[in-house]
């Protein structure tokens, strides 16, 4: 935390955030808005009921293109890349040989042999090196497009109504986890119907130099409908309510994909990929721990990231992410617990500043939008 | 932003002497802004006594939790029960409706900062 603002990396929207009086924080080496003056709860509610606009330009973009592009991406990720249609996106991961996470990511299929991989900001350099390390055996190019790319995420039920007047591209036909290319406010964009909030919405990728114009155009167009700029604070509470994993919390290089409840991105029958053997073995010998959702029983007991899960005075697991939930009005969290205790209605305890408090395992996701 | 009739700690609590040996205690504008939306304030019971600097409760926001430290030695004679249902008062009115405890002072106010010294401290922290 000794890093000063001048050493932090900045997105093309840094000045725009400051002009909006955002509270800026060091997020994995990036100077990012955690909230604007409205506050996290108001921003969270805006995304659930109207719309919010996030700067996610810090995310990393890696383009893989060439005759063996499909083979390389298939080798590096557990999900079935061959099944992606051109114009389709899926959630997947880079795994180590032991099945634990290098990172999680989105794969965009731009062409038969062209893919855009969108990775976490804090892992971007590691991910690029990881892809490069495996690339020499494949006939394709790997380009880190992160510095040249801006990205904003318009999220919330009113997103489509806000965005449509700004583009001639029909948005309604773009299905969830599909994308297309078009112009928004006269700016060339990749328009992706994806997000990290559990709401309908669009992620717009554009040239870094166009990002501020795009941000201002969308923000201005949406203001009359209640669109507000939204920061990383509510991004975290929104994704937590939907049980979406965050690297460094639910997933990291000590947790494998099956324990994390991400078996659905692991296609063991698709052919070989890095981590497959370990996950095959893990499948026949189930993990002793499992990721569960919990709520604490008292209003005053607010669990936080990384607190111990205890039972009878013994540490039996750990909290990955936890916070008071603005939508649900209760104190929620995700935690790894022994598999034999991982049943709905089961009781565990969270150690909060030396005090063991009661919590109940409840169904996840905590929040699901009504379509 | 930093009323002149209050005394301050370097941990961002304020203390307002009432002149009758009691004082109100809360957290500063700077502290509430740094915490963000406050969702719960855990306060002690009436009759609890604390030394200067001792933890007397916690304040929880959506994002984080912070300890509350007593600015001066004292015994709690009242707590702001309204915060149980309206913790947002700490954000909206930190020097007024967001007060936390009232204490009967049992020691002196040595070591507390005046508004000017506190403002200098905050200004140094935010740059």
**What DSSP string describes B50-71?**
E-TT-EEEEEEESS-EEEEE-S
> Is B21's pLDDT higher than 60?
yes
DSSP code, position A256? B
CB distance B42–A300 less than 8 Å?
yes
> Is B20's pLDDT higher than 70?
yes
Q: Which of A5, A27, A37, A40 to mutate to test the interface with B (most CBs of B within 10 A)?
A: A40
pLDDT value, residue B127:
63
CB distance B36–A35 less than 8 Å?
yes
CB distance B60–A41 less than 8 Å?
no
Distance CA A212, CA A152 (A): 10
Question: With the C-alpha atoms ordered B94, B96, B98, B100, is the resulting torsion angle positive or negative?
Answer: positive
Backbone angles phi, psi at B80, to 5 degrees: -80, 90
pLDDT in tens, A121-177: 999 999 999 999 999 999 999 999 999 999 999 999 999 999 999 999 999 999 999
Distances (CA, A) of A37 to A24, A62, B30: 11, 34, 14
Instruction: Calculate what percentage of chain A has a pLDDT beyond 70.
Output: 98
Q: Where are the alpha helices (DSSP H) in chain B?
A: 29-35, 89-92, 115-125
On chain B, the residues whose CB falls within 8 A of the CB of A34 are 36, 63
Distances (CA, A) of A197 to A34, A151, A236, A311, A327: 15, 15, 8, 32, 12
pLDDT band of A7, cuts 50, 70, 90: confident
Instruction: Give the contacts of B127 (CB within 8 A, at least 6 positions apart).
Output: none
Backbone angles phi, psi at B88, to 5 degrees: -65, -15
> Is A1's pLDDT higher than 70?
no
pLDDT value, residue A4:
56
pLDDT in tens, A81-105: 999 999 999 999 999 999 999 999 9
On chain A, the residues whose CB falls within 8 A of the CB of B39 are 41, 302, 324
pTM of the predicted model, to two decimals? 0.95
pLDDT in tens, B84-114: 999 999 999 999 999 999 999 999 998 999 9
pLDDT value, residue A55:
98
Q: Which of A40, A44, A302 to mutate to test the interface with B (most CBs of B within 10 A)?
A: A302
Maximum pairwise Cα distance, chain A: 62
pLDDT value, residue A41:
97
> Is A67's pLDDT higher than 90?
yes
> Is A304's pLDDT higher than 60?
yes
Question: With the C-alpha atoms ordered A64, A120, A49, A345, is the resulting torsion angle positive or negative?
Answer: positive
pLDDT band of A287, cuts 50, 70, 90: confident
Distances (CA, A) of A206 to A12, A192, A200, A214, B22: 11, 11, 20, 8, 60
* Nearest chain B alpha carbon to A329: B39
Give the CA radius of gyration of chain A: 21
3-state helix, strand, coil in chain A (%, to 5): 30, 35, 35
Interface of A with B in 295-354 (CB under 8 A): 299-300, 302, 304, 323-324, 326, 353
Q: Containing H/E element for A290?
A: strand A289-296
pLDDT in tens, A228-244: 999 999 999 999 999 99
pLDDT in tens, B33-63: 999 999 999 999 999 999 999 999 999 999 9
Distance CA A87, CA A101 (A): 26
ipTM of the complex: 0.89
Q: Name which residue leads in pLDDT, A129 or A28.
A: A129
Place of tokens 């912070």: B66
Average pLDDT of the residues of chain B? 96
User: In the predicted model, what is the mean pLDDT of residues A349-368?
Assistant: 97
Q: Containing H/E element for A160?
A: helix A159-163
pLDDT value, residue A370:
83
pLDDT value, residue B112:
96
pLDDT value, residue A286:
81
CB distance B62–A323 less than 8 Å?
yes
pLDDT value, residue A2:
43
Interchain CB contacts (distance < 8 Å): A and B: 39
């Amino acid at each position: 935390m000794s890093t000063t603002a001048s050493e932090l990396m900045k997105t093309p929207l840094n000045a725009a955030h400051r002009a909006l009086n955002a509270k800026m924080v060091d997020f994995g080496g990036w100077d990012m808005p955690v909230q604007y003056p409205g506050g996290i709860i108001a921003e969270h509610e805006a995304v659930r009921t109207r719309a919010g606009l996030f700067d996610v330009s810090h995310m990393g973009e890696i383009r893989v293109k060439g005759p063996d592009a499909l083979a390389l991406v298939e080798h590096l990720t557990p999900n079935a890349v061959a099944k992606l249609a051109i114009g389709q996106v899926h959630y997947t991961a880079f795994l180590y040989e032991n099945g634990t996470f290098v990172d999680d990511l989105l794969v965009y299929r731009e062409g038969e042999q062209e893919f855009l991989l969108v990775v976490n900001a804090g892992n971007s350099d590691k991910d690029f090196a990881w892809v490069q390390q495996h690339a020499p055996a494949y006939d394709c190019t790997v380009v880190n497009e992160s510095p040249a790319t801006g990205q904003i995420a318009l999220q919330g039920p009113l997103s489509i109504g806000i965005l449509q007047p700004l583009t001639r591209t029909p948005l309604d036909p773009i299905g969830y986890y599909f994308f297309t290319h078009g112009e928004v406010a006269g700016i060339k964009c990749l328009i992706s119907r994806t997000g990290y909030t559990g709401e309908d919405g669009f992620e717009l990728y554009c040239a870094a130099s166009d990002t501020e114009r795009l941000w201002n155009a969308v923000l201005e167009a949406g203001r009359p409908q209640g669109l507000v700029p939204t920061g990383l604070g509510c991004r975290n509470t929104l994704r937590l309510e939907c049980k979406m994993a965050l690297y460094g919390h639910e997933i990291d290089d000590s947790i494998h994909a099956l324990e994390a409840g991400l078996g659905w991105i692991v296609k063991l029958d698709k052919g070989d990929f890095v981590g497959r053997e370990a996950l095959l073995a893990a499948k026949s010998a189930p993990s002793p721990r499992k990721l569960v959702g919990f709520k604490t029983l008292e209003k005053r007991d607010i669990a936080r990231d990384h607190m111990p899960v205890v039972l009878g005075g013994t540490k039996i697991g750990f909290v990955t992410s936890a916070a008071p939930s603005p939508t649900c009005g209760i104190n929620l969290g995700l935690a790894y617990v022994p598999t034999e205790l991982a049943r709905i209605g089961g009781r565990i305890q969270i150690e909060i500043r030396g005090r063991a408090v009661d919590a109940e395992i409840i169904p996840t996701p905590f929040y699901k939008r009504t379509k | 932003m930093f009323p002149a009739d209050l005394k301050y700690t370097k941990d961002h609590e304020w203390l307002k002497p009432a002149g009758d040996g009691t004082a109100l205690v809360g957290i500063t504008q700077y502290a509430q802004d740094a915490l963000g939306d406050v969702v719960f304030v855990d306060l002690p019971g009436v009759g609890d006594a604390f030394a200067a600097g001792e933890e007397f409760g916690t304040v929880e926001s959506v994002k984080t939790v912070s300890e509350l430290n007593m600015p001066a030695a004292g015994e709690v004679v009242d707590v702001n029960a309204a915060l149980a249902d309206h913790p947002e008062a700490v954000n909206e009115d930190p020097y007024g409706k967001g007060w936390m405890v009232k204490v009967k002072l049992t020691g002196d106010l040595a070591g507390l900062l005046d508004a000017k010294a506190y403002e200098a401290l905050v200004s140094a922290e935010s740059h």
